[in-house]
C-alpha cells in the first residue's frame, strides 16, 4: 500500500512518456500550478467523462495558472487513441510500471463492487509553483470531480 501525500509534502518528481511517446517531467512545469490526476484506464466510461470534464474546463483552469496532467498505467499508443477519439486537450502520461502511481499514493487496495482489489485509486494531487502538494484528494468520483475542484479552488 502506497503512502498518501499530504499538503506541504514535496510532490514526487517524475518523467513519463506522453501519448506521442515523448518524455514529460513534473520539472517541466516549475513555476506553474499543476493538477495531476490519476485514473485507472483510458477509453473506459468514467475515465472518459473525467478527461472530457478536464478538457472542457482547461481554458478556465489555465486562466488561473493551472496545467492539467492525467496519468494512467496505459501505454502511449492507447493514450494517443484515447486523446484522438475524445479530442482531449489535457496532457496524458503513461505509467505502465506504476512507479509514479505508487509514489503519489494512487495505487493500492480499494473497494470495487464490494470486493477489495488492488489497482489505481482515482486521485487528484494539486501541486503549487514550488513543487509542493497543495491538496491531495483520494477515492474521488469521475463525475462532478472537476466542478468540485473548481469550486474548492474558488475559480
Active site residues: 47
CB 34 within 8 A of CB 129: no
Cα–Cα dist 24/111, whole Å? 31
Burial group, residue 110, by CB count within 10 angstroms (0-12, 13-18, 19+)? middle
The answer to whether the beta carbons of residues 55 and 47 sit under 8 Å apart is: no
Helix axes 145-152, 45-56, angle to 10 degrees: 40
Q: What is the dihedral of CA 50, 55, 60, 63, to 10 degrees?
A: 120
Amino acid at each position: 500500500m502506497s503512502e498518501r501525500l499530504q499538503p506541504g509534502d514535496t510532490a514526487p518528481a517524475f518523467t513519463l512518456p506522453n501519448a506521442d511517446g515523448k518524455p514529460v517531467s513534473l520539472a517541466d512545469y516549475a513555476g506553474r500550478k499543476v493538477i495531476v490526476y490519476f485514473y485507472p484506464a483510458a477509453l473506459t466510461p468514467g475515465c472518459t467523462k473525467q478527461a472530457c470534464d478536464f478538457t472542457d474546463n482547461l481554458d478556465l483552469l489555465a486562466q488561473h495558472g493551472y496545467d492539467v496532467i492525467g496519468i494512467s498505467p496505459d501505454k502511449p499508443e492507447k493514450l494517443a487513441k484515447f486523446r484522438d477519439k475524445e479530442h482531449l486537450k489535457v496532457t496524458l502520461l503513461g505509467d505502465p510500471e506504476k512507479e509514479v502511481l505508487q509514489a503519489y499514493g494512487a495505487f493500492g487496495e480499494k473497494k470495487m463492487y464490494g470486493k477489495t482489489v488492488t489497482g489505481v485509486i482515482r486521485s487528484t494531487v494539486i501541486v503549487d509553483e514550488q513543487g509542493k502538494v497543495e491538496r491531495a484528494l483520494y477515492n474521488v468520483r469521475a463525475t462532478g470531480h472537476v466542478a468540485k475542484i473548481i469550486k474548492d479552488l474558488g475559480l
